[in-house]
A and B are shown apart, each in its own frame.
Chain A
């Protein structure tokens, strides 16, 4: 029995040593790749090498850094998608995903949306969940914007496909604006309730969420317009709701 415990202990020590050694190798390789890239440039070639590093040492924290490098730097669809998929598969518990959420959302793809959703649902770190929630909301906002544009001018559809790639382009063209609005409302509700106190440069996530929820509920096409009540330029009482029963065009203007 004692022998078994001793040999188990030795196994554990060896295993942890080799893990540390492996970690160092991956981290060293990551740094060497970064240096090499600084010297030579060539995002596409290096994307493949960073991906290979991340796949070989997938348990190592350096793998997360390598994948985030790809997400941040590469605009080519296939490599970015692969990096996003690997992050979702192997690195959801990484704390750095929070700071990377902005780049994930910016890469606008189905894989980006999936990763943000997974991080929001499963990350053990509240900061990561907060950032994932915020950037998921922004990504859905941009989808709503594209859906609106497509509705207004359906002839844009081929350009959407070309620009966003077949998968995401098709997804964008098939979105129902009503369902999307409901979903955005849910995500902003989560942002308000669960992460409302988180500070950003401009305001708390709660303030940002309140503003977005007001726009979704009261300023969208199909909603009853908010009341405007006050004096007109000449000093007469003027109230928007007095114009019910008429078609009203409101112009925001200034002589500037």
Chain B
């Protein structure tokens, strides 16, 4: 799990990491929804969740939170089969 944060204030972003007990690494995108990472990825709406497989290939875009578990389980299974 990786995050791209677009809070205006980097300190505020740090605080929400602590408050929400987020344990995964997060890029901070210059405090803007039009920051360089958002721009490259053409993210217009937040939150936006994408899932990549073990090869770095985009497998799900703008997936709904309720579908995340099933998607990840499927990809992990795929990964386990590919690396015996």
Digitize A219-256: 1 where CB-to-B-CB distance is under 8 Å, 0 elsewhere: 11111111010111110101011011111111111111
Give chain A residues whose Cβ lies under 8 Å from the Cβ of B50: 225, 249-250
Give chain B residues whose Cβ lies under 8 Å from the Cβ of A251: 1-4, 47-49
Contact A225 B52 (CB under 8 A): yes
Bound CA span A247–B63, Å: 15
The answer to whether A233 and B58 touch (CB under 8 A), given A238-B25, A251-B47, is no
Give chain A residues whose Cβ lies under 8 Å from the Cβ of B33: 254
From residue B79, how far is it (CB to closest CB) to chain A in Å?
A: 6
Partner of B14, one of A215, A222, A228, A233: A233
Please tell me the number of chain A residues within 8 Å of chain B, measured between CB atoms.
35
Q: Which of A223, A233, A243, A246 has the most CB of B within 10 A?
A: A233
The answer to whether A234 and B14 touch (CB under 8 A), given A249-B49, A250-B50, is yes
Give chain B residues whose Cβ lies under 8 Å from the Cβ of A246: 54, 79
Give chain B residues whose Cβ lies under 8 Å from the Cβ of A243: 2, 56
Contact B57 A222 (CB under 8 A): yes
Contact B56 A233 (CB under 8 A): no
Let me know if A31 is at the binding interface, CB within 8 A.
Answer: no
Contact B2 A252 (CB under 8 A): no
From residue A122, how far is it (CB to closest CB) to chain B in Å?
A: 33
Extra inter-chain contacts (17) besides given A225-B58, A248-B52, A249-B72, CB under 8 Å = A225-B50, A228-B37, A232-B28, A233-B27, A233-B28, A238-B25, A245-B79, A249-B1, A250-B2, A250-B52, A251-B49, A252-B6, A252-B49, A253-B3, A254-B33, A254-B46, A255-B13
Let me know if A77 is at the binding interface, CB within 8 A.
Answer: no
Let me know if A211 is at the binding interface, CB within 8 A.
Answer: yes
Bound CA span A241–B56, Å: 7
Digitize B1-33: 1 where CB-to-A-CB distance is under 8 Å, 0 elsewhere: 111111100101110110000000111100001
Closest to A223 in B: B58
Closest to B37 in A: A228
Contact B58 A220 (CB under 8 A): yes
Contact B38 A247 (CB under 8 A): no
From residue A222, how far is it (CB to closest CB) to chain B in Å?
A: 6
Partner of B42, one of A211, A234, A253: A211
